[in-house]
Structure 1
Amino acid sequence: MATVKKIEYESGKKTWQVRWREDGKQRMKNFSRAKDANDFKISIEASQRDGTYVSPSKMLVEDYFKKWLTYKKGSLSDKTYSSYESTTAAMGEVIGKIQLQKLTVTDIESLYNDLRADGLSGTSCNYYHRILKQSLKQALKDRLIQFNPADLAQPIPKDKFKAEIIHPDMVKTFLSYFSGAEIETAVYLSLFLGLRRAEVCGLQWHDINFKTRVITVRRTLHYKEGEYFHLPTKSKQTRQIPFTLGVAKKLKEEIRSQAKYRKHFAESYVKNKYVCVHRNGMQFIPEYVSHSYTNIKGPAFENIRYHDLRHTAATLMLYHGADIKTVSAILGHSSITITGDIYLHALEDMKRTAIDALDQYMETSDKIVQFKRSV
């Protein structure tokens, strides 16, 4: 139960003091108007009755972010945690000095607009929104705030993603750049089977069944602070992917190549069970694959990132008649909606190009008709 006490000073100044008990302690707050004091009294009593009362706190947003990250660390992968850490740090530069309980919808929308003005993409701004909304949801659950202002803030719309792909007519030219390179087999696995780079690095020989021509994707491989470690796939599920005779041929070439270099390096050769390795047998790490790929690809493929090989694989499968559910399963997407959103527009572009190419036959037909008439 809260009470309001009127206090008059010798100077003639009047103050209305609200007193209430919280966690067994006496609390008080002064107001210059009786109405404000009574409104606050009613608010305190109502929130204490319905369980929504939040203790006053001067905790800053930047301090709350640190507390939240500590709470989240155990449930996140190192990569995701680093992303959360850098994202909250960037947001903290703008809203970090604001008291958590005073953070408003306007503050948040101003943050998004500032980030956008600094050149951050709509997709990245939307990611920041999701992280902020998630962190404040925990603050609400912990009764540090009375409501989540991020729920009401208008996020920046995501950019419409358009996957870059290698045109079918250019695939052989593209592959010619990687002939004999250490990462040639890795490129084949991503381009023709849609494997992510960390999945390529984690692939082991016992994951490959040459008799049934099926690869089982079980893990990803990563490297941090001098240590290699495995993580589950992005979808946290094992998936099986059939492979072609051409991929089988390339994998058998890799076996022969590793045998040759094992003999060359002799005792210094690193013996392990990975499919994609350096000449000395040491397994690849994802960062090496991307770096090496960037240095080798030709100028005609400047805009094609390593991850775009996966996009190309998916688009080519769809173009050649695979249904979207099958392609989604091969890629390891959590739903076919993701697959459709990413790749169907590219498929439509390819269909348009194929149809437009038929004009050449119409032009030829016109010439034949004209020739017959002249005869």
Structure 2
Amino acid sequence: MTTSRDTPASRRVRANGDGTVYQRKDSRWEAAGYVLAPGNTRKRIRVYGSSRTEALAKLTEKIAASNRGVPVVTAQGSLAAYLTYWLENVAVHHLRENTHTRYTAVTRLYLIPGLGRKKLAKLTAKDVRTWLHQLRTTCQCCTRGLDTAREESRCCAAAECCSKRLSPLTLAYVHSVLKSALEHAVREEEIPRNVARNVRNGTPRPRRFEPLTAEEAREFLAAASGQRLQPLFELALHTGLRKGELLGLRWDDLDLAGGTASIRRTLQRTNSSGLTALPTKTKNSERRIALPTPCLHSIQQHRSRQRQEREAAGKDWQISGYVFTRPNGAPIEGATLTRHFNSMLRQARIRRIRFHDLRHSAATLLLEQGVELVVIKELLGHAHIGVTATVYAHVRLRLQRDAIDLLSNALRDPAQIAGRPDGGDDEPPLAGAAVR
């Protein structure tokens, strides 16, 4: 009599709906079963493994996801179907809400119209390269029909193309979204490789910014003096905190006695929750920083002023716990802060900059004062020191040039310096210091 133990593993009968598993002639194991597919249909899929246990585990995972109502997209479907699945079932759980909104917009505006009809399994690097070149060279008014929707045509419909093309930074962002989606398809073994990674789009130039000089920074602080949000502007310039980090500061985050602040959250507006507190941009952005003495004095005065505003508001006061609030205690919108910032610049007749340029100004001024790059990286909350080095490469290059010139002056022949007639060189003579 033959028992279940005597039956080979590849021939054992599995329960109905559990799929089948058997060993192939190439010694690999193959498992097959029916799962939920896009369009509320059922489709048979096959997974492979080096052992029976591995193949069964992969099939069980896909069947479990199917039972939860998550469709399993196969490589035979279109890229548009996979992108929709990826955004709705994968990216939504791993991305911040605002980032997911941007990914969705990029997919709707560029990826699906350009590559959506391609089969996921048949997508090639040539297809991606051709599509990126088309995005780079095509006017968006013509491609997306923006001009035809206007009351008065002023582009292609009027035979006068405005040549509104995507910037290199936007093009690189669109390319990165496609790479992220295809990378997940590789991890799910839908495709063997990520063809988007084989396409070189070129490194876009970083966005240029013009930080405040030391003289301009002093003028800015003088203009902020007496403003209701003076402590916020001072903190932004002294510490380089992001706008959302400043607005998300709570009183329990501050240690005024110890002179420190803990950055734990960022205040942003989202489509689903409105103005809400979110985790910091990265794990390294959650940090503890030292507060300069002028900022401590301003914050203490700000707390006294806020108590007076609370007494004046009475029952209308909104308890939020934030350091920087509106006169009724409600949190401040990022757009509102930007309007106050631009208004102050106009009144003080300071050249117009972005609020984020205060962060760049703080880092640039620290570098010019000789502060080490790793200290600036910790203060700004960058994930890697390479980010700090890349963003402020122009400052480091200028400091290197100054250091090289200083060394060249120190290595000059003293006899030549002593024999030079007065006024023969614009550079002042260096003091006699030993070269170490």
CA–CA separation in structure 1 for the residues paired with 2:227 and 2:168: 37
How do 1:119-130 residues align onto structure 2 when only pairs under 5 Å count? 119-130=165-176
Match of 2:79 in 1: 61
Using a 3 Å threshold, how does the CA distance of structure 1 residues 288 and 93 change in structure 2: closer, same or farther? farther
C-alpha RMSD of matched pairs (Å): 3.3
Alignment partner for residue 160 of structure 1, among 197, 202, 206?
A: 206
CA–CA separation in structure 2 for the residues paired with 1:320 and 1:24: 66
CA–CA separation in structure 2 for the residues paired with 1:131 and 1:150: 10
Aligned AA (1:68): W
The answer as to 2:94 corresponding to 1:94 is: no
1:161-183 deviations in Å (ceiling 9; x for gaps): 44420111111222344444444
Is the CA contact 1:205–1:273 (under 8 Å) kept in the aligned structure 2? yes
Question: The residue matched to 1:100 in structure 2 has which SS?
Answer: coil
Is the CA contact 2:250–2:322 (under 8 Å) kept in the aligned structure 1? yes
Alignment partner for residue 340 of structure 1, among 386, 389, 400?
A: 389
CA–CA separation in structure 1 for the residues paired with 2:118 and 2:267: 40
Number of residue pairs matched by the alignment? 316
Match of 2:191 in 1: 145
Flag structure 2 segments of 5+ consecutive residues without an equivalent.
Answer: 1-29, 35-46, 56-72, 140-164, 406-421, 427-436
Is the CA contact 2:79–2:117 (under 8 Å) kept in the aligned structure 1? yes
Is the CA contact 2:283–2:383 (under 8 Å) kept in the aligned structure 1? no
**TM-score, with normalisation over the residues of structure 1?**
0.74
CA–CA separation in structure 2 for the residues paired with 1:347 and 1:232: 31
Using a 3 Å threshold, how does the CA distance of structure 1 residues 293 and 355 change in structure 2: closer, same or farther? farther
Note the C-alpha offset of 1:100.
2.2
Aligned AA (1:111): W
The answer as to 2:379 corresponding to 1:322 is: no
1:90-140 deviations in Å (ceiling 9; x for gaps): 222221222223322122112222333353232332222222112112223
Match of 2:276 in 1: 229
CA–CA separation in structure 2 for the residues paired with 1:134 and 1:353: 42
Match of 1:14 in 2: none
Match of 1:366 in 2: 423
The answer as to 2:256 corresponding to 1:256 is: no
1:327-362 deviations in Å (ceiling 9; x for gaps): 111111112111111124135447879999xxxxxx
How do 1:186-335 residues align onto structure 2 when only pairs under 5 Å count? 186-224=232-270, 225=272, 227-237=274-284, 238-298=286-346, 300-302=350-352, 304-335=353-384
CA–CA separation in structure 2 for the residues paired with 1:179 and 1:56: 62
How do 1:160-179 residues align onto structure 2 when only pairs under 5 Å count? 160-179=206-225
CA–CA separation in structure 2 for the residues paired with 1:136 and 1:193: 39
Is the CA contact 1:203–1:217 (under 8 Å) kept in the aligned structure 2? yes
Is the CA contact 1:214–1:242 (under 8 Å) kept in the aligned structure 2? yes
Moved more, 165-174 or 231-240: 231-240
Question: The residue matched to 1:271 in structure 2 has which SS?
Answer: coil
Match of 1:106 in 2: 126
CA–CA separation in structure 2 for the residues paired with 1:242 and 1:164: 26
Using a 3 Å threshold, how does the CA distance of structure 1 residues 226 and 104 change in structure 2: closer, same or farther? closer
Flag structure 1 segments of 5+ consecutive residues without an equivalent.
Answer: 1-20, 26-46, 357-364, 370-375
The answer as to 2:100 corresponding to 1:81 is: yes
Is the CA contact 1:219–1:232 (under 8 Å) kept in the aligned structure 2? yes
Note the C-alpha offset of 1:282.
0.9
Is the CA contact 1:125–1:156 (under 8 Å) kept in the aligned structure 2? no
**Higher RCO (CA-CA < 8 Å; seq separation 6+):** 1
CA–CA separation in structure 2 for the residues paired with 1:346 and 1:173: 22
1:258-294 deviations in Å (ceiling 9; x for gaps): 1222232222122332111111111123333234323
CA–CA separation in structure 2 for the residues paired with 1:73 and 1:86: 13
Match of 2:136 in 1: 116
Is the CA contact 2:31–2:48 (under 8 Å) kept in the aligned structure 1? no
Match of 2:177 in 1: 131
Using a 3 Å threshold, how does the CA distance of structure 1 residues 282 and 350 change in structure 2: closer, same or farther? farther
Note the C-alpha offset of 1:194.
0.9
Question: The residue matched to 2:363 in structure 1 has which SS?
Answer: helix
Is the CA contact 1:207–1:217 (under 8 Å) kept in the aligned structure 2? yes
